Structure 1
Amino acid sequence: MKPWDEYEIKARYIPTFLSVVPLVQLLLLIIDKTFWLELISNISWMLIANVSLSFIIMLSLVQIQCSLGKGWIEESVFGKGGERFPTTNMLLYAGGLISNEGKERIRQKISNLSGCTFSSQLEEKKDPANARLQAREASGFVRALVGQGRMTIQYNIRYGFFRNLIAGIIWSSIGSIGCSVFYAINGNLKLAISFTIYFIIYLMMFIFKRTILENLAFLYADTLYNEFLYQNKGVN
């Protein structure tokens, strides 16, 4: 994946930027400007090939926030390694989401193209863990084959954006609450209320993360398998 492709910008960089804005504002408010001027002066030797310290910090925050999104937010909704992600559940008889006939069409095409095997309905009941592993491996083949697709990438970006945005609740909350308190103490109620609203928005997204991510993940998975089924038939 290229560092500046559409997914990287929309699903990784933008959510991180939106999350750190309140924290950066808080730091600018509580730390004297002289400190920042001295810091810039002292680390000027670190500026190599026009790469600024702020850019390095931003890249680091992107990696941290996206790791939290994948390892904390996503796993809290879909289990370790995303074992209950809709792309897996759609291939399981017990997973629901689509009809058994739809599952069979997808399974048959995957088996024909990749040689992947699936558990029968009876085998799935006897050994659900193995059936889930088979489905997860098969979904990986489908993602690799479809790639960005025509619409799959857009639903993938939408899901990634909200997953990573929710993961930014840690520093967005610290920054928003800090700024709200600071501005309230200094009599600037408009800005205090603005940052309070900012905090409430993030809090609500975190509280309802399961509903948000399950809906977005389903739309992504549904689009992925539709494009997989019809990509060679001229229909998308």
Structure 2
Amino acid sequence: MMNQYFIRARLFPTILTSIPIIIFINYVLNKEIYPSLDQIYTILPTLTGFGISAAIIFLSIQINRIVSKELFQKIYFKEEIEMPTTKMLLWKDSKLDKNTKSKIRQKINKDFQIKLKNEIEEVSDLEESKKQIVFAVSQIRNLLRGNAFLFQHNLEYGFIRNLIGGSSMASLISAIILIYAILTKDNTLEITSIILLTIYILPIIFSKFIINKFGNYYAKTLYEQFLTEK
């Protein structure tokens, strides 16, 4: 499962968002800085090109993960306090009916000996209620670690989150390429960079909506699978 997660939720979005930086290094820098290294590229063209691109993708995987988790997820969800898995179990949230919430809370108490706050207690201490739910959700995730259906939704959420993180870096590099193309009057590169910038900026503009949408899908699946767990 970890190999599948790495490939589908980390590697694939990184490959999709690495196009601008690969163009920047293999075209822009190659044109401006690498002429002095022409001999190396003549001797080892395949090795240098493939090696640099592979190194970029590997580095981008780490950067995208950090950006997506530490920037977008932290801004939108404040760690896990505001995540759909937390909010959905609050009494004031309407995404789940109260009967279902009661069943989930009873099972949490039974399985993990965690007694979540009732409606009155939740109103008087909302932040503590959220922290309790966050801890309970971590226990549910551990319990359902091998659940294939939940894993599929986790893959989808991870892919989208990392795609948005990668798009922020891709947009920045595309903008740099665009500036370079305008300054050097490279029309082909200018059109390419405009297209790339447009493609990568869209996930950022709609990032909150997209992350929330997939987060809600994951949260509903988590609780559905938890209730069916014996």
Tell me, yes or no, if structure 1 residue 212 matches structure 2 residue 197.
Answer: no
- List alignment gaps of at least 5 residues for structure 2: 43-50
Q: TM-score, normalised on structure 2?
A: 0.84
Identity of aligned residues (%): 28
> Match for residue 94 of structure 1?
92
> Match for residue 187 of structure 1?
187
Whole-Å Cα distance in 2 between the matches of residues 36 and 226 of structure 1? 59
Contact 1:20 1:175 in 2 (8 A): no
The alignment covers a number of residue pairs equal to 217
Contact 2:168 2:200 in 1 (8 A): no
Say if 1:82 and 1:201 are closer, same or farther in 2 by CA, change over 3 A: farther
Shift of 1:38: 6.8
Shift of 1:60: 3.0
CA displacement 1:182-231 (0-9 Å, x = unmatched): 5562232xx64343232112212111111111110000111111111113
Contact 1:87 1:139 in 2 (8 A): yes
Whole-Å Cα distance in 2 between the matches of residues 57 and 169 of structure 1? 15
Whichever structure has more helix as a proportion of its residues is 2
- List alignment gaps of at least 5 residues for structure 1: 42-51
RMSD (Å), alpha carbons:
2.4
**More displaced stretch, 193-202 vs 122-131:** 193-202
Contact 2:18 2:57 in 1 (8 A): no
> Match for residue 45 of structure 1?
none
Aligned-partner residue type, residue 66 of structure 1:
R
Say if 1:38 and 1:159 are closer, same or farther in 2 by CA, change over 3 A: farther
> Match for residue 82 of structure 1?
80
Say if 1:76 and 1:148 are closer, same or farther in 2 by CA, change over 3 A: farther
SS of aligned partner of 2:161? helix
SS of aligned partner of 2:148? coil
SS of aligned partner of 1:201? helix
Contact 1:65 1:167 in 2 (8 A): yes
SS of aligned partner of 1:175? helix
CA displacement 1:112-155 (0-9 Å, x = unmatched): 11111100111001111111111111011111111141321111
Say if 1:153 and 1:209 are closer, same or farther in 2 by CA, change over 3 A: same
Of the candidates 149, 152, 155, which is equivalent to residue 154 of structure 1?
A: 152
Contact 1:23 1:174 in 2 (8 A): no
Aligned-partner residue type, residue 227 of structure 1:
Q
SS of aligned partner of 1:95? coil
Whole-Å Cα distance in 2 between the matches of residues 15 and 39 of structure 1? 31
> Match for residue 44 of structure 1?
none
